[in-house]
A and B are shown apart, each in its own frame.
Chain A
Amino acid sequence: MSIDLKTIKHISKLSRISVDEKKAEKLAGDLNSIFDFIKKLNELKTDNVEPLTSVAETTLKLRPDEVKSKNLRDQVIKNSPKENEDYFVVPKVIE
């Protein structure tokens, strides 16, 4: 199976990363060589193997839902590329 330009365009849309033709071709080449390498996994029969989702064999602990960091609004907002008073500003969404 090979990844064509149409697939690259589709993944780039899902990833929210814009790609032009030149970049798409380079990515297709790279991804194909990587998936060629990954396909080695098909040599293994895994029908009866349980997937491993976490190596940490522990159950999630509960903790009280308490606020511990307070009054950080100004600092947090300051990291924004564009803000207006207490709001993050983005390009217009509603026409």
Chain B
Amino acid sequence: MSDITKQSLSGLVENIKSKKLSSSEVTKAFVERSEKSKELNAYITEDYTNALNKAKKFDEKPNLDLKLPGIPMAVKDLFCTRDLKTTAGSKILNNFVPTYESTVTQNIWNEGAILMGKLNCDEFAMGSSNETSFFGNVQNPIDKNLVPGGSSGGSSSAVAAQLTPITIGTDTGGSIRQPASFTGTVGLKPTYGSCSRYGIVAFASSLDQAGPMAQNVKDCALLQEVISTYDEKDSTSIDFKRNEYSKELTKDIKGKKIGIPKEYRVDGMPEEIEDLWKKGIEYAKDCGAEIIDISLPHTNYALPTYYIVAPAEASSNLARYDGVKYGFRAEGENLIDMYEKTRSEGFGAEVQRRIMIGTYVLSSGYYDAYYLKAQKVRKLIKHDFDDAYKKVDAILTPSTPSSAFKIGEKTNDPVSMYLNDIFTVPLNLAGLPGISIPAGHDAKGYPLGLQIIGKAFDEQNILNIAYAMEEKINFKNNITDWWIK
């Protein structure tokens, strides 16, 4: 039984389809391992009994034509799941039970997968270390003292620790790719408009995207194929021709032009990251790709732009949490007092900070100086990519400027925490897809990731490049199960 959880998603799907394994056997194995792994704090809500019942039901009448037949899966607690508590990692939604299902999770269940539970995340996905969650920080299975990244930290920890065969996260500024990089896993942020935002607790609506987090590129492609659909319930969902990403996956990337942006060599970047990048370039060449130097001149302005746009949108989106219709309420002397106390007690410090930034930049007299300015710079950042893509098919960069840091190391300095997203944020601003793949270890043995950035709607191409490079890199994660007693 113990090797079931070691299998990849694709392996499990194959074994269930060929009836070598039943959904019940697979679900039981992942539930048991999840139960033994409470110390990681990857789950906020467990739904194991229902999962086992659903698996049993699946086995009674198995539909083996589905893409995820009877596969158990835990998902980030930012996706609304009908009749199962959805908290977004916040006290203010501590008791919220959605009456509807997010489109992305519905797509997953439609293909036969089974919900095991909801995974921890930074509060409202605001954070890079999972330390802003009301439900406590999550441990990185690589090392007890390390953060798993964020905001999809429960997701990255759960996939790396094999508590779930695969999962989904959301990425507003790097929240899929950075935790993937910190845990030696694969994470894809799709093109804006590729996966529906319906039923995902909103953070910054012009940046948020859901995407798969997996043990390998093939699994990632399979889940992307399932979750990416046009959805009329999301007004920014885009109706484009979607590939069958896993079927069309190929390692043949001969002649692909891959750009190396010089602006991603930032001050103070550890030599290990620079070396990893150089190695990545060699791997890409070995796969037959052509390497071309490019320039993305406004890269350094991406983070300041993001820290205007994202909080501004968040301050509007989070205005709905008022203690009236759902969620936590603090008692107050009058209506306004109730609102103010509810939001002061219900939101954590980082969320309050971002609401305040957002409110300030949108307030009377400051709109032009901050928000409008940021939207203009956002245009320049997008132009950089448009120009680059006249010469190249994809772009290769490190995923993060460092490996995973220690729990508590950056919590007192918001700006140093924000700098984690320096390589991931530009894509969100430009709406482009990007994938992080594990590519090596630093001197401490912690994983490091490389990011491949694609043109809009060109997920297939970056998945192919990642697939080809993955074979050359041949990465092995050092996970010792230290948390299992």
Q: How many residues of B contact A (CB 8 A)?
A: 71
Contact B338 A55 (CB under 8 A): no
B contact face: mostly helix, strand, loop, or mixed: helix
Q: Which residues of B contact A12 (CB under 8 A)?
A: 356
Is A84 interfacial (CB 8 A cutoff)?
no
Residue of A nearest to B96 (CB): A79
Asked whether A17 and B343 contact (CB < 8 A) given A30-B353, A51-B379, A56-B192, the answer is yes
Contact B325 A79 (CB under 8 A): yes
Contact A46 B373 (CB under 8 A): yes
Is A90 interfacial (CB 8 A cutoff)?
yes
Kindly state the separation between the CA atoms of A64 and B356 in the bound complex, as whole angstroms. Answer: 38
Contact A17 B382 (CB under 8 A): no
Q: Which residues of B contact A52 (CB under 8 A)?
A: 375-376, 378-379, 382
Which of the candidate stretches B2-10, B159-167, B232-240, B458-466 sits at the interface with the other chain?
A: B232-240
Contact A82 B96 (CB under 8 A): no
Kindly state the separation between the CA atoms of A75 and B231 in the bound complex, as whole angstroms. Answer: 25
Contact B374 A41 (CB under 8 A): yes
Which residues from 357 to 381 on chain B have a C-beta closer than 8 Å to any C-beta of chain A? 357, 359-360, 363, 370, 372-380
With beta carbons under 8 angstroms apart, the residue of B206, B238, B323, B370 that contacts A38 is B370
Is A67 interfacial (CB 8 A cutoff)?
no
A contact face: mostly helix, strand, loop, or mixed: loop
Contact B359 A15 (CB under 8 A): yes
Q: Which residues of B contact A76 (CB under 8 A)?
A: 99, 325
With beta carbons under 8 angstroms apart, the residue of A16, A53, A58, A90 that contacts B375 is A53
Contact B414 A34 (CB under 8 A): yes
Kindly state the separation between the CA atoms of A4 and B370 in the bound complex, as whole angstroms. Answer: 18
Asked whether A40 and B344 contact (CB < 8 A) given A17-B352, A60-B235, the answer is no
Which residues from 278 to 324 on chain B have a C-beta closer than 8 Å to any C-beta of chain A? 298, 300-301, 303-305, 307-308, 315, 319, 322-324
Contact A46 B380 (CB under 8 A): yes
Q: Which residues of A contact B379 (CB under 8 A)?
A: 49-52
Known: A11-B363, A50-B376. 15 other contacts (CB 8 A): A15-B356, A18-B337, A19-B344, A27-B352, A34-B307, A41-B301, A41-B373, A42-B373, A55-B206, A56-B193, A56-B431, A58-B239, A61-B235, A63-B232, A79-B326
